[in-house]
């Protein structure tokens, strides 16, 4: 049902509290920052527990089964809350509910859910909330109309670093991936809009921006003219006040020497590439519809390493793709040993509805996948440790993100190469760039002491 809007919908949140739960990737985190901004413009204020909330919004992820299961168990839990507070509004949005089948499933199984919305519906959230207050049933809006998206702002969760989307959607249709089905076709934001937003953030004291997209490398291909991602990076490099520019995620098939050169020559562009390879077997890469071979991937990595001294490269690996033989898996282990990633995020293959891989024969058992994941992580752990060990005794620049989760006397932050660093210091260093002398290297992080504050 498409609701009508009344004049006072802009104050529907006055005095009310909201809880927002986010699953998934950086793009979803950014979408949640936009949802916060929309809700706060309606008068809502944030709380941290469901018991205090008048509105609960779950921003879902559909990339694997696990985050979907967490959503249904949360909704089960919130049934009791709704019995106690009939005015409580519960909304479920994001990639899971952008899929019609899942949207109907949530509506039919959880009658206490008021709104089911998709990834394109954020501009219509005020309408949906206003309608839900007077409507007993469940409103569904999974329309792919994204009119008004560009006008939305984000309530950034940090005051010194921020996500900056540059392209939405994906055209690649990797055979295992649900993203193109839930985020739509690639649409690049106009360069001038991105640069204007970057300049306003830098003027507000932001030091670090991460350019976001499912595949940032194909930025601009849908725009008139020949403005490329490399061109955008070059222009971002001249935004005054910005000290660090990051970007994710890159697809190897669209990674150009021009982009590598833009990173090499751009002072503010961080020396880190997140370049998902997914498998080291050409047979599996073909069945994944990834569009490159292991040989081409290794050539790209060597080009990056030869051009940019001290660069770090991280990746994503899927273990247990349908039909993956021991030989295919060995090819993946061999690629890890050849490329030597600083870090690799490894995942067990999870069949996703509506994807071609889900219909493939020779699906592996969970046990087989788990066993391979363990072997793969052992290989990667050793490589990550060895590479971090090389940084002992060096001095690195760190953007301080705040107190370490496990010890408030320790501060934590990241190097330009995206390595996590812990060091003793006070929390007033948060948001500052400092130099740290690295004294100890661990598999996933570094420890050191403060050298001096960096202006």
Q: Which residues bind ligand SF4 (CB under 6 A)?
A: 170, 172-174, 177, 179-180, 214-215, 251
Q: Which is nearer to ligand SF4, 93 or 184 (CB)?
A: 184
Neighbours of 194 (CB within 10 A): 21
The minimum distance between CB 107 and ligand SF4, in angstroms, equals: 27
Burial class from Cβ neighbours inside 10 Å (0-12, 13-18, 19+) for residue 136 reads exposed
3-class secondary-structure state, position 449 = strand
Nearest of 276, 264, 345, 259 to residue 305 by alpha carbon: 264
The minimum distance between CB 356 and ligand SF4, in angstroms, equals: 11
Q: Which residues contact 385 (CB under 8 A, 6 or more apart)?
A: 441, 442, 443
Burial class from Cβ neighbours inside 10 Å (0-12, 13-18, 19+) for residue 57 reads buried
Q: Which is nearer to ligand SF4, 172 or 412 (CB)?
A: 172
Q: Which is nearer to ligand SF4, 275 or 335 (CB)?
A: 275
Q: Which is nearer to ligand SF4, 355 or 415 (CB)?
A: 355
The minimum distance between CB 167 and ligand SF4, in angstroms, equals: 11
Whole-number Å distance between alpha carbons of 307 and 302: 8
The minimum distance between CB 177 and ligand SF4, in angstroms, equals: 3
Q: Which is nearer to ligand SF4, 37 or 356 (CB)?
A: 356
The DSSP code for 250 is -
Q: Which is nearer to ligand SF4, 349 or 423 (CB)?
A: 349
φ and ψ at residue 280, rounded to 5 degrees: -105, 0
The minimum distance between CB 344 and ligand SF4, in angstroms, equals: 15
Q: Which is nearer to ligand SF4, 53 or 275 (CB)?
A: 275
Q: Which is nearer to ligand SF4, 170 or 311 (CB)?
A: 170
Q: Which is nearer to ligand SF4, 113 or 174 (CB)?
A: 174
The minimum distance between CB 453 and ligand SF4, in angstroms, equals: 39
Q: Which residues contact 73 (CB under 8 A, 6 or more apart)?
A: none
Whether 258 contacts 229, CB under 8 Å = no
Rg (CA), the chain: 23
The minimum distance between CB 330 and ligand SF4, in angstroms, equals: 23
The minimum distance between CB 336 and ligand SF4, in angstroms, equals: 19
CA quadruple 263, 265, 266, 268: dihedral, nearest 10:
90
The minimum distance between CB 40 and ligand SF4, in angstroms, equals: 30
SS3 content of the chain, % helix, strand, coil (to 5): 40, 25, 40
Helix (H) or strand (E) holding 90: strand 89-94
């Amino acid at each position: 049902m498409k609701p009508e809007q009344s004049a006072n919908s802009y104050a529907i949140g006055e005095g009310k509290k909201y809880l927002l739960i986010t699953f998934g990737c950086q793009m979803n985190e950014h979408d949640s920052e936009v949802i916060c901004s929309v809700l706060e413009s309606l008068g809502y204020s944030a709380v941290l527990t469901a018991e205090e909330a008048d509105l609960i919004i779950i921003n879902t992820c559909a990339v694997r089964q696990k985050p979907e299961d967490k959503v249904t168990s949360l909704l089960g839990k919130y049934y009791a809350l709704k019995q106690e507070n009939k005015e409580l509004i519960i909304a479920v949005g994001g990639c899971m509910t952008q899929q019609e089948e899942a949207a109907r499933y949530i509506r039919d199984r959880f009658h206490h859910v008021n709104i089911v919305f998709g990834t394109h519906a954020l501009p219509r959230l005020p309408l949906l909330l206003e309608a839900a207050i007077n409507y007993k049933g469940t409103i569904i809006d999974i329309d792919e109309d994204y009119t008004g998206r560009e006008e939305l702002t984000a309530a950034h969760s940090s005051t010194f670093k921020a996500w900056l989307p540059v392209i939405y959607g994906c055209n690649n249709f990797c055979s295992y991936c649900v993203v193109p089905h839930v985020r739509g076709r690639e649409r690049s934001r106009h360069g001038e809009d991105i640069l204007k937003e970057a300049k306003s953030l830098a003027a507000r004291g932001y030091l670090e921006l991460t350019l976001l997209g499912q595949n940032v490398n194909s930025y601009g291909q849908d725009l008139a003219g020949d403005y490329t991602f490399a061109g955008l990076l070059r222009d971002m490099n001249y935004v005054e006040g910005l000290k660090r520019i990051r970007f994710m995620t890159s697809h190897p098939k669209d990674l150009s020497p021009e982009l590598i050169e833009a990173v090499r020559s751009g002072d503010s562009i961080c020396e880190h590439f997140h370049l998902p390879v997914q498998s080291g077997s050409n047979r599996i890469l073909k069945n994944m519809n990834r569009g490159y071979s292991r040989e081409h991937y290794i050539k790209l990595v060597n080009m990056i390493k030869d051009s940019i001294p001290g660069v770090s490269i991280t990746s994503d690996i899927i273990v247990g793709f349908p039909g993956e033989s021991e030989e295919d898996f060995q090819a993946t282990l061999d690629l890890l040993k050849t490329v030597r990633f600083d870090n690799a995020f490894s995942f067990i293959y999870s069949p996703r509805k509506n994807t071609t891989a889900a219909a493939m024969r020779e699906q592996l058992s969970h046990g087989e996948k788990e066993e391979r994941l363990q072997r793969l992580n052992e290989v990667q752990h050793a490589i990550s440790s060895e590479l971090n060990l090389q940084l002992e005794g060096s001095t690195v620049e760190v953007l301080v993100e705040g107190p370490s989760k496990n010890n408030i006397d320790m501060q934590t932050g990241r190097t330009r190469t995206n390595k996590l660093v812990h060091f003793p210091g006070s929390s007033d260093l948060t948001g500052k760039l400092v130099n740290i002398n690295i004294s100890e290297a661990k598999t996933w992080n570094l420890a050191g002491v403060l050298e001096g504050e960096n202006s």
